[in-house]
Amino acid sequence: MAILVTGADGYIGWPALLKLSREFPDERIVGVDNFARRRWVEEIGCVSAIPIHSMQERLEAAREAGHGNISFIEGDLTDRAFVQQIYATFRPRVVLHLAAQPSAPYSEINGERATYTQHNNVQSTSNLLWGLKEHNLIETVFVETTTTGVYGQPDFDIPEGFLEVERNGRKGSVIYPGMAGSWYHMSKCHDVNNLWLANAKWKLSVIDLRTAITYGTRTDETQGDPRLATRFDFDFYFGVVVNRFAAQALAGFPITVYGKGGLKRPMIGLQDAVDSIVSSAKREPNQKFDIFNQTSGPVGIQEIGEGIQTIGAEMGIPVQVDHLENPRVEKEEHQMVMENSRFMNELLPHPTVDIMDGLRDTLESLQPYRDTLLAYKDRFVPEQLLNRVSVA
Ligand SMILES: NC(=O)c1ccc[n+]([C@@H]2O[C@H](COP(=O)([O-])OP(=O)(O)OC[C@H]3O[C@@H](n4cnc5c(N)ncnc54)[C@H](O)[C@@H]3O)[C@@H](O)[C@H]2O)c1
């Protein structure tokens, strides 16, 4: 028996691979990646603040830590022949599809990056879905981490995937339409449509995890050996808001909250994201298209800034919170209320991370790499602040 993890070199994929290996010791855990994320970050002129090791070193450390059932294969999922070969060799019982170009700002640099992102993401998913059909693997459970971003910013509570519709006295449920706000997020809307079709036509069991902004630097399995660390990006393109704020604070710049900071966004800690991915690998095939909002709840942008300030004070690091005009097209005070009760009940009954833990973990793990942050300050500090180092 085997579990396939795509994007196994990534921020979420690497800790997921390690945890799966612990949870399913009698199965082969097969990771696949083409190392594109390492190249994208290099291309935009930055690095992972927490150093990450080569896959060979990662695997050696994993074996030494008792993960004896992991295999890794380098390859590009947009290459149909590669996907076919993986399926023919391993015939996985579960596919956990975490590979994608996941940055909205990167996808919006220019038309070439937009097309690249959509081709990379949609073609990879399509190859993986069709491969299951063509290898008679329709009993395989297919899990993808799409994104909460497919929902856009509606002014009503966001359901877990489906909308109830009533027209002229008749009722039904329809899949929530793709209303993404970036070319990256729209690639995931295309994926959702293809997942829906694979389920509708072939009865493939699909679990679509609408993954929220994921924060944190470590999980149980990535600690104890620096070679097991997962990546941590803090630049404009690949750093999520928590990462950029933490980097700004540690590098001695004010934290820059856009507008009044009233915006709230669904989020999830890395450990909880990994735990719920592992839970989905435990589910039996059910021929359904299951959608879960993979978030433990909303967090306010101002709350993150103030949280970093509080924890910074505990660690002896003075942190200033500044408000800047919002350059992004988003509704200033938008709360993005997202239903998540099915997700919490079925896939994350025991959440372990709250935002303050996540912020503390982030600041503590980043503190030794302050020099790296300073060396790349033009990659994450807004231009208006670059000449204003306020903290020694
Ligand atoms: N991290 C978040 O906050 C977040 C939020 C919402 C959704 N997601 C989704 O979760 C998944 C994992 O995200 P992440 O943050 O770990 O991203 P990541 O970039 O660190 O990991 C994705 C991995 O996929 C690999 N990859 C990309 N295209 C590939 C291809 N064609 N062939 C083989 N490998 C390929 C990359 O090299 C990378 O290692 C992605 O699908 C992302 O869209 C992440």
Does 180 reside within a domain? yes
Q: What are phi and psi of 146, to 5 degrees?
A: -85, -120
What would the two tokens of residue 224 be? 């104890």
Distance from chain centroid for Cα 49: 17
Q: Is 13 in the pocket of ligand 1 (CB under 6 A)?
A: yes
Spacing, Cα 98 to ligand 1 middle (Å): 5
What would the two tokens of residue 383 be? 């231009």
Q: Is 269 in the pocket of ligand 1 (CB under 6 A)?
A: no
Q: Is 12 in the pocket of ligand 1 (CB under 6 A)?
A: yes
pLDDT band of 313, cuts 50, 70, 90: very high
Each residue's pLDDT tens digit, 360-381: 999 999 999 999 999 999 998 8
Does 387 reside within a domain? no
- B/e letters for 240-258, b = 16+ CB within 10 Å, e = fewer, are bbbbbbbbbbbbbbbbbbb
Each residue's pLDDT tens digit, 255-283: 988 777 788 899 999 999 999 999 999 99
In a 3-state reduction of DSSP, which class is residue 112?
helix
* Cβ atoms 367, 186 nearer than 8 A: no
Spatial CB neighbours of 1, under 8 Å, sequence gap ≥ 6: 26, 27, 28, 93
Q: Is pLDDT at 392 greater than 50 in this prediction? A: no
* Cβ atoms 214, 240 nearer than 8 A: yes
Distance from chain centroid for Cα 64: 27
Does 164 reside within a domain? yes
Task: For residues 117 and 100, give the distance between their C-alpha atoms in angstroms, rounded to a whole number.
Answer: 8
> Which ligand 1 atom sits closest to the C-alpha of 148?
6
Each residue's pLDDT tens digit, 39-94: 999 999 999 999 999 999 999 999 999 999 999 999 999 999 999 999 999 999 99
Spacing, Cα 10 to ligand 1 middle (Å): 6
Task: Report which protein residue has its CA nearest ligand 1's atom 28.
Answer: 100
Spacing, Cα 296 to ligand 1 middle (Å): 20
Total domains present in the chain: 1
Average pLDDT, the chain: 94
CATH code for the domain in which residue 46 is found = 3.40.50.720
CA distances from 205 to 143, 216, 283 (A): 9, 30, 10
pLDDT band of 391, cuts 50, 70, 90: very low
Percentage of the chain exceeding pLDDT 90: 90
Predicted TM-score of the model (pTM): 0.96
In the residue annotation, 258 being an active-site residue is answered as: no
* Cβ atoms 117, 130 nearer than 8 A: no
Q: Is 240 in the pocket of ligand 1 (CB under 6 A)?
A: yes
pLDDT band of 324, cuts 50, 70, 90: confident
268 forms bridges with which residues in the sheet? Answer: 214
Spacing, Cα 41 to ligand 1 middle (Å): 13
Q: Which of 125, 147, 214, 256 is catalytic?
A: 147
Burial bucket for residue 83 (CB in 10 Å: 0-12, 13-18, 19+): buried
Nearest Cα to 308, choosing from 236, 271, 361, 387? 361
Of 11-15, 52-56, 382-386, the one with minimum mean pLDDT is 382-386
**Given its phi and psi angles, is residue 290 left (phi above 0), alpha (psi -120 to 50 degrees) or beta?**
beta
Q: Is pLDDT at 326 greater than 80 in this prediction? A: no
Q: Is pLDDT at 337 greater than 50 in this prediction? A: yes
Q: Which of 11, 116, 176, 184 is catalytic?
A: 184
Based on its alpha-carbon atoms, the radius of gyration of the chain, rounded to whole angstroms, reads 21
CA distances from 184 to 27, 35, 110, 189 (A): 33, 18, 12, 9
- Residue 382: predicted pLDDT: 83
Does 360 reside within a domain? no
Each residue's pLDDT tens digit, 160-217: 999 999 999 999 999 999 999 999 999 999 999 999 999 999 999 999 999 999 999 9
Spacing, Cα 13 to ligand 1 middle (Å): 7
- Residue 260: predicted pLDDT: 72
* Cβ atoms 95, 4 nearer than 8 A: yes
Spacing, Cα 235 to ligand 1 middle (Å): 16
Report which secondary-structure segment, H or E, holds 205.
strand 205-211
> Which ligand 1 atom sits closest to the C-alpha of 9?
39
Q: Is 37 in the pocket of ligand 1 (CB under 6 A)?
A: yes
Does 335 reside within a domain? no
In the residue annotation, 184 being an active-site residue is answered as: yes
Task: For residues 212 and 122, give the distance between their C-alpha atoms in angstroms, rounded to a whole number.
Answer: 20
Task: Report which protein residue has its CA nearest ligand 1's atom 43.
Answer: 102
Does 235 reside within a domain? no
Task: For residues 7 and 249, give the distance between their C-alpha atoms in angstroms, rounded to a whole number.
Answer: 30
CA distances from 168 to 40, 119, 165, 172 (A): 51, 40, 10, 11
Task: Report which protein residue has its CA nearest ligand 1's atom 21.
Answer: 10
Spacing, Cα 284 to ligand 1 middle (Å): 25
Does 160 reside within a domain? yes
Task: For residues 272 and 263, give the distance between their C-alpha atoms in angstroms, rounded to a whole number.
Answer: 23
Q: Is 295 in the pocket of ligand 1 (CB under 6 A)?
A: no
In the residue annotation, 11 being an active-site residue is answered as: no
Task: Report which protein residue has its CA nearest ligand 1's atom 23.
Answer: 7
Does 310 reside within a domain? no
> Which ligand 1 atom sits closest to the C-alpha of 149?
6
Range of the domain at 147: 2-218+270-294+341-348
Q: Is 7 in the pocket of ligand 1 (CB under 6 A)?
A: yes
| Distance spanning both ends of the chain, measured CA to CA | 55
